[in-house]
Amino acid sequence: MPGKFSLMNNVYVLGGFATMGGMLFGFDISSMSGVVGTQRYQDYFHRPSSSLQGGIVASMAAGSFFGALVAGTLADKISRKRTIMVASLIWCVGSIIQCAAINVAMLIVGRMINGVAVGLASMIVPVYQSEIAPKDIRGRIVSLQQWAITWGILIQYFIQYGCSFIDSEAAFRVPWGIQVVPGIILFIGTLFFPYSPRWLADQGRWEEALEVLANLRAGGNKNDPEVMAEYKEIEDAVNFDKTLAARSYAELFRKPAARRVFLGMALQSWSQLTGMNVAMYYIVYIFQGAGLTGQNVNLQASSIQYVLNVVMTVPAILFIDKWGRRPVLLIGSTMMALWLFLIGGLMGRYGSALAFEGNDTTTWAIVNNDPASKAVIACSYLFVCSFAISWGPVSWTYPAEIYPLRIRAKAVSLSTASNWAFNFILAYAVPPALEKIQYRTYFIFAACCVAMTIHIFFMFPETKGRTLEEMDELFNSDVPAWKTRALPASHLEKDIEDIRMQQHGEKNEIST
């Protein structure tokens, strides 16, 4: 059906709209970071201790861990599209409970339900994007997920900032309630999405798979050489999968899948150990430690960080398919380590023990040293920029593209669950860490950035420019990871050209 719902056959439209699932994650980050330092939140919930506040924030990650785990099976059974719809409905329920919370227990329940939705969405959206996108822009399409997260953080933060001037419970209830809106929009919009052509093929719905692929690539032309070549690749991959044993989670931990599963889980874990999401959750505490005082001053300084996060993700979206995954990850982790070492060093040298009234978390701060305070804030901004242009987008892109179709959903669910497991641990542990070991917390994350740089260099092959079906050939080769950039390019172009020549020859025969 060429032309029908043509807007919903545009890969950029589909990939971009689906990232509202990522926006839910961003909304959740700001839904806490914007209120933890406000007087109304502290008074209403009876000034949570550092450990209790860590538990409140971490409850979302706990729910996300569960959501990510079940997402793999759900995505295979009911489709990628319907899993996104389920996530959006669960998100609405959690947001309503959170908005209506009358005590910490109810707040935690609402955040855990929201977390289940975020776990589902954060796992399935990159998979859906990777399965509908052409290889040459796959990184760009999946990177939109991270951009949506940054927009969610920014939008919700400004909502929080505006509501912070309300002298009532509405200061935190309104922002929490508004979170329902993107969930409703995502559910309605996804109704008009096509199914993933690769999921359709995996279900044996070949004619539908070809139709969707033709609509995505060539305006409905099933005889287009690009469509025919990609369809043949998918067909060969699915038919090969049928010759293998029954699918199970156990397969993920056996050769040859185990290596890739470990890489995906490691990458998502490392992305949390950069400390970026911790910086987003607890930015108020970080800037208090840098010597910023006054709620409005702190919120304004924080908003700059969120704007930088949005802006600096754009270069990665535009150029990730040109730069490649490896260089972006390596440079990003190296720069983040530098800024974290500097923050820790500056705070250790110029800071001192200090008690903040009504805040048990910040026990070390720079006082009466304007240059050192500005240097810490500048390094914090540069840290965010380094993450936004590198690990932010690539940590979602890489796991979604390295697995074969037969295990893709389950493997990505494990890698995403790893992300949320570390998110939970860090969200819970950082407030006590800032309280007990203070500026040394930054050195821990800096050391992790050094370790991940070494791991990426030796273990992660370059995946840019290859189709999803070519990943088996890449990962089963004996070429060291640091030499994979020099491997021959994808053979899909040759297949397309062969089909084009064949069609041209057939036309000549008919004309003569």
- CA 274-279-280 angle, 5° bins: 120
Alpha-carbon torsion (75, 80, 82, 87), positive or negative: positive
Domain 8-198+252-486 classification at class level: mainly alpha
Which pLDDT belongs to residue 347?
86
Which pLDDT belongs to residue 188?
95
Q: What is the DSSP letter of 194?
A: P
Q: From first to last of the 512 residues of the chain, give the pLDDT tens digit.
A: 444 447 778 999 999 999 888 888 888 777 776 677 677 888 888 888 877 877 888 888 889 999 999 999 999 999 999 999 999 999 999 999 999 999 999 999 999 999 999 999 999 999 999 999 999 999 999 999 989 988 988 888 888 878 878 888 888 899 899 999 999 999 999 999 999 999 999 999 999 999 999 999 998 999 999 999 999 999 999 998 888 766 778 888 888 889 999 999 999 999 999 988 767 666 666 777 666 665 555 666 777 888 898 999 999 999 999 999 999 999 999 999 999 999 889 988 887 877 666 566 667 777 777 788 888 888 889 999 999 999 999 999 999 999 999 999 999 999 999 999 998 888 778 778 877 888 888 899 999 999 999 999 999 999 999 999 999 889 988 899 999 888 887 788 888 888 888 887 776 666 66
Which pLDDT belongs to residue 119?
93
Instruction: Write the CA distances from 1 to 6, 134, 192, 218, 220, integer angstroms.
Output: 10, 20, 15, 11, 6
What string of H, E and C letters represents the secondary structure of 205-271? Answer: CHHHHHHHHHHHHHCCCCCCHHHHHHHHHHHHHHHHHHCCCCCCHHHHHCCCHHHHHHHHHHHHHHH
Model pTM score: 0.89
Which pLDDT belongs to residue 3?
46
Instruction: Tell me the three state secondary structure of residue 356.
Output: strand
**Closest alpha carbon to 279 in 442, 158, 432:** 442
Which pLDDT belongs to residue 22?
81
Q: Which residues have CB under 8 Å from 10's CB, separation 6+?
A: none
Which pLDDT belongs to residue 328?
96
Domain extents for the chain? 8-198+252-486
Cα–Cα distance for residue pair 361/432, rounded to 1 Å = 7
- Is the peptide bond prior to 461 cis by the omega test (within 30 degrees of 0)? no
List the structure tokens of 155.
Answer: 């939008």
Cα–Cα distance for residue pair 302/290, rounded to 1 Å = 12
Which pLDDT belongs to residue 299?
65
List the structure tokens of 172.
Answer: 């935190």
Which pLDDT belongs to residue 243?
80
SS3 content of the chain, % helix, strand, coil (to 5): 80, 0, 20
CB neighbour class for 248 (10 Å; exposed up to 12, middle 13-18, buried from 19)? exposed
